[in-house]
């Protein structure tokens, strides 16, 4: 019996050693890739004291960039939540020609570079673009203005809500909805009472991803906005502008705000995962 126990201990030692090696490797990698850059940003931002840090954040161009980012993000979330729901329900519950093609096109923003997407919108909605020339004739500016920045952000965030809801809808099936119809519920009542509650966690996760992507978007917005200070400069563009102007404290101060926002979003995502597991 003692020999058997000794054998078990010997067999478990390599597994325990491998476990510790794996944990240490992950911890070191996490420290180098995540914590070290964050520490560097914080150190640079507060390098000349709290007063300078606050002064850079409360500058007019800094406040304008964060306000503009907020409105673009808010509009993107509302629009892509509505159309993401419609798109997911259509692709899962309806049968029509070209459905497979449309499902592939939904993922196009993942494959296309944001910079390329920005140039696509200039080609379409620029002052001499195919569609933009009509708007320009009517005095409506799309590119190098808020509408163009919103369109670019909508494009790069389009798949998130739809792609998070579609697997949930497929797993949910049609049985409960058909039961609601049999009991006399209208299509609208069925949507609010049956369909929407069934996809609530997928919807919440898709909205969270949309917010995170909208806040951090750079390439497409840079191309279509022109990065005009106090006009079309979002938070990420403001950071880029401050860095290229060698105002490192201004760049890193704004970067801290975005990093804190991202941390809050990631925390919210983890809570959603836990709530989804509980439910």
* 95 plus 181 within the same structural domain: yes
C-alpha span between 124 and 224 (Å, rounded) = 11
Please list the ranges in the chain whose pLDDT falls under 70: 1-15, 173-174, 178, 182, 273, 275-279
- Dihedral angle of Cα 212, 218, 224, 227, to the nearest 10 degrees: 120
145 within some domain = yes
Q: How many residues comprise the chain?
A: 279
73 and 184 housed in the same domain:
yes
151 within some domain: yes
Q: Return the sign of the alpha-carbon dihedral for residues 140, 143, 146, 150.
A: positive
Residue 72 in domain: yes
* 27 and 130 assigned to the same domain: no
Q: Are residues 5 and 80 in the same domain?
A: no
Report the distance separating Cα 132 and Cα 148, nearest Å.
Answer: 10
Q: For residue 184, what are the contacts with CB-CB under 8 A and spacing of at least 6?
A: none
CA-CA-CA-CA dihedral for 271, 275, 278, 279, to nearest 10: -170
Domain count, the chain: 2
Q: Do 72 and 31 sit in the same domain of this protein?
A: no
pTM: 0.83
Closest CA to 237 of 125, 106, 144: 144
For residue range 259-275, what is the model confidence (pLDDT) as tens digits?
888 888 878 777 776 76
Give, as one character, the DSSP assignment of residue 131.
T
Residues 147, 229: one domain?
yes
Domain-embedded: residue 50: no
Is residue 243 situated within a structural domain? Answer: yes
CA atoms within 13 A on the CB side of 72: 34
- Do 39 and 102 lie in one domain? The reply is no
State whether 104 and 239 are in the same domain: yes
| The two three-digit tokens of residue 99, written as one number | 């459905």
125 with 169, same domain: the answer is yes
Q: Which range marks the domain in which residue 11 is found?
A: 1-45
Task: Kindly state whether residues 68 and 40 are assigned to the same domain.
Answer: no
Same domain, 4 and 98: no
CB atoms within 10 A of CB 253: 26
């Amino acid at each position: 019996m003692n020999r058997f126990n000794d054998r078990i201990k010997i067999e478990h030692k390599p597994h325990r050693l491998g476990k510790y090696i794996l944990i240490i490797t992950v911890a070191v990698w996490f420290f180098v890739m995540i914590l070290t850059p964050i520490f560097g940003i914080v150190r640079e931002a507060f390098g000349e004291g709290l007063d300078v840090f606050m002064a850079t954040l409360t500058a007019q161009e800094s406040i304008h960039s964060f306000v503009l980012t907020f409105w673009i993000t808010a509009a993107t979330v509302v629009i892509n939540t509505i159309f993401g729901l419609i798109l997911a329900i259509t692709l899962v519950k309806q049968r029509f020609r070209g459905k497979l093609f449309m499902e592939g096109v939904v993922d196009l923003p993942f494959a296309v570079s944001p910079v390329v997407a920005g140039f696509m919108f200039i080609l379409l909605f620029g002052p001499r673009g195919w569609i933009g020339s009509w708007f320009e004739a009517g005095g409506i500016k799309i590119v190098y203005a808020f509408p163009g920045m919103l369109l670019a952000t909508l494009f790069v965030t389009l798949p998130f809500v739809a792609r998070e809801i579609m697997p949930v809808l497929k797993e949910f099936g049609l049985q409960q909805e058909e039961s609601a119809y049999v009991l006399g519920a209208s299509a609208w009542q069925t949507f609010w009472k049956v369909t929407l509650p069934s996809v609530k966690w997928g919807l919440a996760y898709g909205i969270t991803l949309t917010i995170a992507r909208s806040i951090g978007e750079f390439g497409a917005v840079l191309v279509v906005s022109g990065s005009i200070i106090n006009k079309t400069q979002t938070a990420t563009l403001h950071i880029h502008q401050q860095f290229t102007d060698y105002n490192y404290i201004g760049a890193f101060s704004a970067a801290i705000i975005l990093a804190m926002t991202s941390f809050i979003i990631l925390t919210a995502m983890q809570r959603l995962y836990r709530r989804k597991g509980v439910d």
